[in-house]
Structure formats: C-alpha cells, structure tokens
Amino acid sequence: MKRVLIVGLISIGLAFSSCSTVPLTGRSRLNLVSDDQVLPMAFQAYNQFLTENKNTVLPASNAQAAKVKSVGNKLIASVKTYMNSNGHADLIKNYKWEVNVVQSKELNAWCMPGGKIVVYTGILPVTKDDAGLATVMGHEIAHAIAGHSAERMSQEMVGQGIGTLGNVALANKSKTQSVFNTLYGVGAPLAMLSYGRNQELEADRLGLIFMAMAGYNPQNAIAFWQRMSQASSGSQKPPEFLSTHPSDGTRIARIQNALPEAQKYYKP
C-alpha cells in the first residue's frame, strides 16, 4: 500500500512538473520525453515497417505514389514555412521527412515523429482528389508537429510509474522503448497509435492551416470527412486511425468553426 502511494505521488509530481503547452495552440499537455529520445526510435520503427512491408510499398514511379508524394511535399514545405514564420523552427530541425505509399485495403494514414509518413492506397478512393489527400496528410502531419506521440508516451509512462522527479529523466531506456513499441505496434503489420479526442481536434485545426498554406482550399476538408463517415459506416468498428476519435458530427462542426482561421492562409 505504501509503495502504491509513493508511485502515485511520483506520478502526480511528474504530471505537475512536466506540464507544457502545445506551441501552436497553447493547449496544456504532459511531456516527459524529448525529441532526442523519441526521434531515433521513430526512425528505426519506420525503417522496420518499410522492411517488413517492402513487397507492398509502391515505387516512386507508380502513379498513386507520385500523386501522394507530390501533395506531401507541398504540405511539408508549408509546414516548414509556418514553423519558421512563427518562431518554432527548432521543433522540426531534426525532422527527416519521408513519404511512402503502401498497397493495402486499410483506410489509413499516419505520420510518425520526425516526419515519417505512410499513406495506404485503401484511403485514396475516399480522399478522391488532391484536396482530400491534403486533408488527411495535413491532419496526420499535425499530430507529429504538435508532439502528440510524446504526449501519449508520457501519459502511458505516468500510468506505469516510469520516470523520476528532478530533471524528469526516463527511469529506464528499455522501458521507454517498450512504451513506444506498444503505442506504435512495432513488429505488427499496422501502426497502432491512436490519439484522444482533444488531440484529434487539434490536429484537424492545424491540418487545415497546413493544407491552406500548401494551396488547397480548407473548405474541402468537410467533404472529405463526410465521405470518410460514409465509407466507415458499414463496418463493425471504425478504421484504426479513427478509433477513440470524436464523432463525425463533432469533428465537422469544429472544422467549420476553424475554417475562418484557415482561410486566411489560403491563396488560390
């Protein structure tokens, strides 16, 4: 009982001493891990994923891959511009951007910390056009930019009692690696990380700005999420990248509220 109390007090202390704000939105968050700790794991996991799925990764010469990479490169350029213009260039200085397309029926896309992006061909009929694709990719990139992976890892670590007070250093590197592997499903065919509702809505908001700066009308995001809702309505459970996410109605309403802000960045 005493040990449980001590662990609980340490976790509470960590939560209070390690709170920070998302630089782009000002939301308060828990952050126990740094990019120096997370990015090497992300790069290794991404390379492992590509190796394990090498037979389904489309070559750059493939038309679908070329389209995704083209939209991705425009979004990456807009992210760099946004971050540099708003004093956050340091947050992406160690990013190693990369975009790959995987042949799969999954309605899925994700971006690991450090700018490692994967889009599944199964979602392309739903994205329909470049603007729809920019909606998905902008949203996933926003998760990385806002540090949502580190936040999820921090929450998991507190739940497991991993960490120490003082400089909030990680107690055990192998345990940290284990947390990362659990969240990302390393060794599994799919990346398993899912985000909370606040993180999802935050990624929507930032994604709208990124797609607008890349030259895609953010108004098109609403049509994409409507199509996504229809595409996933017949399944028993939502696609992995929609699990624990806000309801379709909530998401679309919040996007509509965020559109005036995003439209300021859109130049056709």
Angstrom distance (rounded) from CA 120 to CA 110? 9
State pTM to two decimals.
0.82
The catalytically annotated residue of 140, 151, 200, 202 is 140
Query: Which amino acid is residue 107, in one-letter code?
Result: L
Q: Tell me the pairing of strands 19-21 and 28-30.
A: antiparallel
Phi/psi region, residue 165 (left: phi>0; alpha: psi -120 to 50; beta: rest), is beta
What is the length of the chain?
A: 268
Active site residue 140: yes
Q: Tell me the pairing of strands 109-112 and 116-120.
A: antiparallel
pLDDT in tens, 86-131: 999 999 999 999 999 999 998 989 999 999 999 999 999 999 999 9
Contact 127, 190 (CB under 8 A): no
Structure tokens at 3: 């040990």
Beta carbons within 8 Å of 39's beta carbon, 6+ residues apart: 94, 95, 113, 114
pLDDT in tens, 24-78: 788 877 777 778 888 988 898 899 899 989 999 999 999 999 999 999 999 999 9
